[in-house]
Amino acid sequence: MLQIINNFYSPQNLGLIMFNFLNMHFETNHQSYTNYYGGDRKLSYPTWETVHLQDSKYINPYKIFKDTWIEKTKIKPLHINTFFRKTKLEECKKSPSWKQYKPHKDSSNNDLAGLIYFNSSFLRDGTFIFNESFEYEPTLIVGSQPNRCVYYPSDVWHSPSMEQNVQERWTQPFFIIYKDETYKKFLDKKEVDK
């Protein structure tokens, strides 16, 4: 059930999202979160990420995303995790993952995963979809396009291309829970983690 929504944000909301993107603080990070590859983030997929966006009573990127998501998909989320991410071409080229496909699945603690592209219109800056983790070539490639949203079940094998075309690839990853049983597991885990 891979879905693509072009022109996800309205022009006004895209402007507000980009204002926030350009003015938020980004910290170094890496994918996957679980593997740190000997302490060197560039041995994995090096990223720069903001804090997770939070809801508030004011107009903010979280609220804009949530309202747009509901309007465009008609799926009412029970929990959303979203943030902004940059990947830098110079860092990706130094990674052993450069030009390598590293398919992964996202956490089963979510029902859906996806991202919104902001600054690229290239096939190689998109998302690669695989049937299995060991495949050498993707089954499907979703090219990046500014303001394009792509989402899929969290158990779908996927990967960034690892051959990005732009100096910085700007995206908004998101993870959504909308099923009651997944949300109950999320709440139970949250209670255990206290």
Q: Minimal CA–CA distance to 157: which of 127, 123, 177? A: 127
pLDDT at 37 over 60: no
Name the residue ranges covered by the structural domains of the chain.
Answer: 3-193
CATH architecture of 3-193: Sandwich (2.60)
Q: What is the pLDDT of residue 102?
A: 73
Residue 53's region, left for phi above 0, alpha for psi from -120 to 50, else beta, is beta
Q: What is the pLDDT of residue 63?
A: 95
Q: What is the pLDDT of residue 43?
A: 63
How much is the mean pLDDT over the chain?
88
DSSP state of 152: E
Whether pTM exceeds 0.85: yes
pLDDT at 40 over 70: no
Q: Minimal CA–CA distance to 47: which of 102, 103, 86? A: 86
Q: What is the pLDDT of residue 30?
A: 72
Cα 194–chain centre separation: 26
CA distance 106 to 114: 10
Q: What is the pLDDT of residue 41?
A: 61
**Residue 140, token pair as written in the block:** 């499907």
Bridge-based pairing state of the strands 3-5 and 149-153: antiparallel
Helix (H) or strand (E) holding 22: helix 11-23
CA distance 159 to 124: 11
- Please enumerate, as own/partner, the contacts of 129-133 that have beta carbons within 8 Å and a separation of 24 or more: 129/2, 129/156, 129/157, 129/158, 130/101, 130/103, 130/157, 130/158, 130/159, 131/157, 132/103, 132/157, 133/103, 133/104, 133/105, 133/157
Highest mean pLDDT: which range of 2-16, 47-61, 82-96:
2-16
Q: For the chain, give the percent of residues with pLDDT over 70.
A: 91
Q: What is the pLDDT of residue 174?
A: 98
pLDDT in tens, 107-165: 889 999 999 999 988 888 899 999 988 888 899 999 999 999 999 999 999 888 777 88
Q: Provide mean pLDDT across the span 167-184.
A: 96
143 backbone dihedrals φ, ψ, rounded to 5°: -70, 150
